[in-house]
């Protein structure tokens, strides 16, 4: 592999990582007060993924810290990295929420 090819590969990887980090939080929803959550999910060290419904407010608890998120943004059927939407220090490992379509009886 030439130096140019290696440099281009590294640049492409860096661009894709920064593009993921640049997605606005509001595309998925918004943080809300914990008291407004209709569902509570206790995260374990082994939790890597979970399912939520579009329009659902969920409180996430991890090692005594918590935050609530309302998955009501314009993007339904998305994969949300909770590390990107949680306040700093609340999520200690990668956890992905798979947002499904609207469910009337939450």
Which is it for strands 65-70 and 79-81: parallel, antiparallel or unpaired? Answer: unpaired
pLDDT of residue 89: 92
Cβ atoms of 97 and 50 within 8 Å: the answer is yes
C-alpha 65/C-alpha 71 separation (Å) is 19
C-alpha 103/C-alpha 106 separation (Å) is 6
Q: Is residue 74, in this structure, part of any structural domain at all?
A: yes
Task: Return mean pLDDT, the chain.
Answer: 81
Q: Is residue 9, in this structure, part of any structural domain at all?
A: no
Overall number of domains in the chain: 1
Q: Is residue 75, in this structure, part of any structural domain at all?
A: yes
What is the phi/psi pair of residue 93, to 5°?
-155, 160
Q: Is residue 42, in this structure, part of any structural domain at all?
A: yes
Domain residue limits at 52: 26-100
Q: 4 is written with which tokens?
A: 């140019």
Q: Is residue 33, in this structure, part of any structural domain at all?
A: yes
Q: Is residue 17, in this structure, part of any structural domain at all?
A: no
Q: Is residue 60, in this structure, part of any structural domain at all?
A: yes
Q: Is residue 90, in this structure, part of any structural domain at all?
A: yes
C-alpha 63/C-alpha 50 separation (Å) is 17
Which has more pLDDT, 10 or 51?
A: 51
**CATH code of 37's domain:** 2.60.40.2280
| 69 confidence band (pLDDT: 50, 70, 90) | very high
Q: 37 is written with which tokens?
A: 């959550």
Which has more pLDDT, 10 or 77?
A: 77
pLDDT of residue 14: 54
pLDDT tens by residue, 29-63: 899 999 999 999 999 999 999 999 999 999 999 99
What number of residues does the chain have?
106
């Amino acid at each position: 592999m030439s130096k140019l090819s290696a440099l281009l590969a590294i640049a492409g990887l860096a661009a894709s990582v920064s593009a993921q980090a640049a997605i606005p939080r509001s595309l998925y929803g918004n943080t809300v007060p914990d008291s407004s959550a209709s569902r509570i999910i206790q995260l374990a060290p082994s939790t890597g993924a979970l399912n939520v419904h579009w329009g659902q407010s969920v409180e996430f608890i991890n090692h005594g810290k918590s935050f609530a998120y309302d998955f009501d943004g314009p993007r339904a059927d998305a994969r949300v990295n909770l590390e990107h939407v949680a306040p700093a220090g609340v999520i200690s490992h990668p956890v992905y929420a798979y947002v499904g379509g609207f469910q009337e009886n939450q």
